[in-house]
A and B are shown apart, each in its own frame.
Chain A
Amino acid sequence: MSEMIQAKEPFKFYTRLHLSELTGLRAATLPQLLKLIKTVPGSSIYHHTHRFLQQHQYLSPEPPNDFAYWVSAVLGEAGLGEKLASIDTIQFPTIRSLREEIIKNIESYIKDNPLSKLKFASEGEEFHFIKSVSFILPTKYIAYNLSDFVEILKKITLDSIYFHIFEARLRLERTTNDFSYWIETSIGDKTLASTISHLDPYTYTLEDLRSAVIKIVEVYIRSKN
């Protein structure tokens, strides 16, 4: 059995917990929604494109963002809902570029479907803009090699997995997820890093994502033994 490669730098697991802050802003029509999407803070765009993943993770890959859900379920604009739901979030390296893509889709839909401007949500069904306040804390878990890493992955919270995969990449504007970055730079295996970074995390439930990463790393460890 070959010796497990020790990482140059250990991987420190963090967790990210969020608190929802209300902005008091609400939209009842598509033009109102569009106007507010253009002006709300990035943390609000982030909240509405990622909250669903955490709160409704067992439903994913069902509606991956609140905007898609609201325009379909409340305004009855299923066409736009589908367009917004199928935005390939992982292709957008920043919240700014994701926001622009959402705006582009809504503007183009309104242009092609002018009557959609007249639809409105009934009382109590308006779209409420909320933003996420993230608290990032170090956990007690530290991996010194891939074997530690995979064992910790099995028991860490989904919040921690979420932080290292989603939050690190998009909101904190890092180019890849933390796991791939560590495997490439500290374990020194580009192929394994790339296999993990090629997963589209937006099409998994968080629990399935955990299992997928564990499986990839376990297969790799077995192949080296």
Chain B
Amino acid sequence: MNKRRLVVSGDGLLSKRISQHLRDFHTADSVTPRRSFLRNAASMAGLGISGLCIRGLTQAAPDDEGRGNGKNVLPKPIPGGVSPLGIFIHHFPVVPTGTPLQNLTEPSQITDFKGFVGLNRIRGAGTGKGFPALAFQADLGFLKGIFIGQDGEQHHGTFGFI
């Protein structure tokens, strides 16, 4: 495996981002998603690890070939999604193998995006400390291309869905 170390951590711009998110994605006809997001965001605020970190996002900067400077730019989420456990998320799980491609749901997590995309789901087995037999599910994906960021500018980036 490549030995590249990435860091995911929190940042402190939650209130501003919540307001922006609600303006952008949650209008009066989407009460349930708004309520769910507020519950989620409020929880994040309480633990102080909200959102994607600025430090993490700046890792996209060397890949940026768009008009924007690529620093501290948050991609925008797709407007649609599903509600596992009754909580709305901006994501569609991959369609099961054998589903006609014409019934494909959006595999991207980023909207205003053009480029390569991948998504999967794998269920398997493994072992862990204190557990001779465990089961896992992995939903992974990628996005590589151009996108209109939260700043309204066009950027180029490579992202992992993990």
Instruction: Indicate, yes or no, whether A interacts with B.
Output: no
**Contacts from B to A (Cβ < 8 Å):** none
**Contacts from A to B (Cβ < 8 Å):** none
